Chain A
Amino acid sequence: MLRRYLRPISPSARREERIFYLFILPWLVGLVVFNAGPVLGMLGLSFTDWRISLDDLQFIGLDNYATLVADPIFWTSVGNTLYIVVGRVVFGTAFALFLAILLNQKVPGIPFFRAVYYLPTVTAGVAVALVWIWIFNPRLGILNYSLKQIGITGPPWIYSSQWVKPSLILMSMFAVGPNMIILLAGLQGVPKELYESAEIDGAGNWAKFRNVTLPMLSPVLFFVIIISVVSSFQNFTEIRVMTEGGPGESSNVLIWYLWENAFIFLQLGVAAAVAWIMFVILMALTGLQFRLGRRWVFYEV
């Protein structure tokens, strides 16, 4: 499979290659020691009855996985996770792109607006979640207050099984700063000559966006989507601070289900199995995206 990525190398390229690997060596060591190591360790532990102590672990084969398959709350959490991931990625990426396009305009005050839209990203997650608890407050929150001013009775937001997931997706729209910056950089890298050529061909704004901007931005969009999927799966702080998986199980996502099993129910072996299922789902989704990406991602040669 790797063969398609292989190509001839020159001596100067080999020298550059050595420097490249030298520079990324610290990251690689960190990846192997602090990420890959625990991941593999977790795989082993997912086949044991691990609760707290690592002494006297019993190998129980696939029992932890069988427990998960038989638990309806696990499937609820899978469904909730996919719902939120799809919502966050689709709407979040679209909103980030929309903002990036706006912030790519040459109008006065743009640096200010760039900073404003990036600000939520540099604020601590817990603080942001606490602010959103108040924003979503059905009676006192600014959201329902604003809706009331235009004659709309706002929903109960995170205090309703029907609304909690859309609420969390809505909230995530305000943390698109990093994706916005990446897309903005991508937009600024699109050669102006392409737009000029398109204009000569009579292209309007929509045609230029569809036939120039999007194709040229597709590698960046691809990266943003992959990173967004990963980060959406790891969406823990909001659940911990704002909903604790509720009401009922309506915001019980996989990462919360994992945490509950590990630190509330002390079933660390089961939690390790959940972690590995998440790992497999993420790898599968990423693989699928790479496969689908061949159809729409355009790499400039």
Chain B
Amino acid sequence: MNKQQLSRRAFLKLAAASSSGVALAGLGPLRNIAAAQDTVELTFGRHWEAAFRPRQAEYDEGFMERHPDIKIDITYNTWADHNNVVPAWAAAGTLPDIIYVHGSRATPWAHEGIIIDINDIVVADEEFNVDGMWEESVRLYRVNGRIHALPYDHGPVILGYNKDMFDAAGMDYPNGDWTMEDMAAAAVELTDSDMGVWGWDGQLNLGNSGGGFFLGAWGGASMNEDETQMTMDTPEVREALNHWYNLIHEAGAAPSGTESEAFPNQNPFRSGACAMGHIATWSTPSMRALANFEWDVAPTPMGADGTRSTGAFGSGYGITPTSDKPDVAWRYLREYLSLDGMIFMWSLSGRGSPARPEGLEAWLTSDPAPPNGQYFLEAMFDYAVTGPPFSSLAAAQVSNILGREAGLLRLGETSVDAAIAAITEEAQAALDAVAEDM
């Protein structure tokens, strides 16, 4: 018989060739949520770290006691993964009822139908005081003028300082009269790089919470208010970036990006090696837990013309379109995000930056709050502005570009002019590309 066949060796060779390509296809298994229960089950996708979960569990136990018809089921993602897991859930149609929404994701997620418009629900609920939230915080979640999520936290970044290092140098602490030049001069004086000690922490954040701090004192901003035009190529921004670049690479008063990697606690200021840094309300618990020195906060230093500016940002919660019980989801959120809910979760716990002024006032008495924590409150009332990009569909791309160039500036691998040119060209192209979809 002269029948022909594919030899096994040939078969395996062909299979190996095929598998080299098809192996690319695995985008990962997606979770399947079962939903058969006696009471109404409310599902969550959020990201608290392990240390804060008991507080959440305590709140939820209280909530379920008050609402015995509701059972809460939480899926915790890591902070690093949450923003990537949620789109995967959405693509698979397995979104939980309520999800954590970082302020930078509200617009794209609303646009892609990952969170629903809850404007009517919020406005119709007379007992829920949405006007009692910082307007700057609610602004993050207004998409085309309508509320798509609600903030739980929102806070500014201001100046943090290591009291021990100032005391050792016999220098006065930073105060409200300081300008950015005063801050730089003090940083130079406090620096002893041979001893691994710097005056400034070398961070350079041009994104949501940082743009106002690092550019605003010079009158600069990364982009215009409606986020359609990059505004990096201006004398103000150039002057601001030169200030920070020179502080790191000319004066040597701050560790470079490479040097910063060596610090414990992954933060030069928190490690105790740097006398000053920018600090946000949400980072105060980790400061209290890990900083092995006395520290406090001061108002963000002013620009030469007396301009004081900083960025503020936060996160919230939204209801998803796959939820078949948005009314029940709202029953949870209206309590969770009420003043009482915020005080329990974020003020008394010391977690910080609740999105209501009264909540922030209550937080000032908690242990992690620094002695002069009222400067956070002052910043929110007087000069903090919610930092872009967040309302453009290209916000993620623009944030990436800003972060990339800021990182290269810290490393000294690009110049201020080159960074401005790259940001302007690439980020503007990204904004233009989504202009029609907005």
Measured CB to CB, the residues of A under 8 A from B are: 2, 5-11, 13-14, 17, 20, 31, 34-36, 38-39, 42, 51-54, 137-140, 156, 159-161, 223, 226-227, 229-230, 233-234, 246-249, 259-260, 262-266, 268, 275, 278-280, 282-283, 286-287, 290, 299
A35 contacts B23, C-beta separation under 8 Å: yes
Is B5's CB within 8 Å of the partner chain A?
A: yes
Query: Which residues of chain A are near B408, meaning CB under 8 Å?
Result: 161, 247-248
Contact mask for chain B residues 252-277; partner A; CB cutoff 8 A; 1 contact, 0 none: 00000111011000000000000000
Please name all residues of chain A whose beta carbon is closer than 8 Å to the beta carbon of B23 when the two chains form the complex: 35, 230, 234
Binding stretch for chain A, among B81-89, B295-303, B351-359: B81-89
Bound together, the chains give a CA A278 to CA B261 distance in angstroms of: 33
- B25 pairs with A9, CB closer than 8 A: no
Across the interface, name the chain A residue whose C-beta is closest to B2: A8
- Closest Cβ of chain B to A276, distance in Å, is 9
| Residue in A13, A234, A260, A265 with the greatest tally of chain B CB atoms within 10 Å | A265
Inter-subunit contact A160/B91 (CB<8 Å): no
Residue of A nearest to B430 (CB): A265
Residues of chain A within 8 A (CB-CB) of B3 are 8-9, 14
Contact A137-B261, Cβ < 8 Å, known A234-B24, A266-B108: yes
Does A35 contact B5, Cβ atoms closer than 8 Å?
no
Contact call A7/B5, Cβ cutoff below 8 A: yes
A9→B6 CA distance, assembly (Å):
9
Contacts of A17 in B (CB 8 A): 5, 8
Alpha-carbon distance A34/B27, docked complex (angstroms): 11
Interface status of B184 (Cβ within 8 A of chain A): no
| Contact between B8 and A263, CB atoms less than 8 A apart | no
Of the four ranges (under 10, 10 to 19, 20 to 34, 35 or more), the interface on chain B belongs to 35 or more
B437 nearest CB across to chain A (Å)? 10
Shortest Cβ distance from residue A246 to the other chain B in the assembled complex, whole angstroms: 6
In the bound complex, do residue A287 and residue B17 qualify as a contact, i.e. CB atoms below 8 Å apart?
A: yes
Is A246 a contact partner of B407 (Cβ separation < 8 A)? yes
Measured CB to CB, the closest approach of chain B to A1, in angstroms, equals: 10
One digit per residue, 1 when the CB lies within 8 angstroms of any chain A CB and 0 when it does not, for chain B 8-30 equals 11100101111111111111000
* A179 to B: closest C-beta gap in Å: 15
26 inter-chain pairs at a CB distance below 8 angstroms, sorted by A residue, are A5-B6, A6-B5, A7-B7, A9-B5, A14-B5, A31-B19, A35-B22, A35-B26, A36-B25, A39-B24, A42-B25, A54-B91, A160-B258, A226-B16, A226-B20, A234-B24, A247-B411, A260-B400, A262-B27, A263-B83, A263-B87, A264-B83, A265-B396, A266-B396, A286-B20, A290-B13
CA distance A39 to B25 in the complex (A): 5
Q: Which residues of A contact B258 (CB under 8 A)?
A: 138, 156, 159-160
Complex CA gap A6/B6 in Å reads: 5
Given known A140-B262, A223-B16, A229-B20, contact A20–B112 (CB-CB < 8 A): no
Given A137-B262, A139-B262, A260-B400: A275 touches B17 (CB 8 Å cut-off) = no
Q: Which one of B4, B13, B17, B261 has the highest number of Cβ atoms from chain A below 10 Å of its Cβ?
A: B261
Q: Pick from A159, A287, A290: contact of B411, CB below 8 A.
A: A159
Residue from the set B2, B17, B24, B114 with the largest chain A CB neighbour count within 10 Å: B24
B396 and A264 contact, CB distance less than 8 A: yes
Alpha-carbon separation in the docked complex, A94 to B9 (Å): 25
| A287 / chain B contacts, CB cutoff of 8 Å | 17
Scoring B6, B20, B259 by chain A CB atoms within 10 A of each residue's CB, the highest score goes to B20
- From known contacts A8-B2, A159-B258, infer whether A53 and B84 are also in contact, taking CB-CB under 8 Å: no
Interface string of B106-124 (1 = CB under 8 A from A): 0010001110000000000
A282-B261 CB under 8 A given contacts A5-B6, A52-B87, A247-B411: no
Docked complex Cα distance between A282 and B113 (Å): 35
B90 at interface (Cβ–Cβ under 8 A)?
Answer: yes
A280 / chain B contacts, CB cutoff of 8 Å: 21
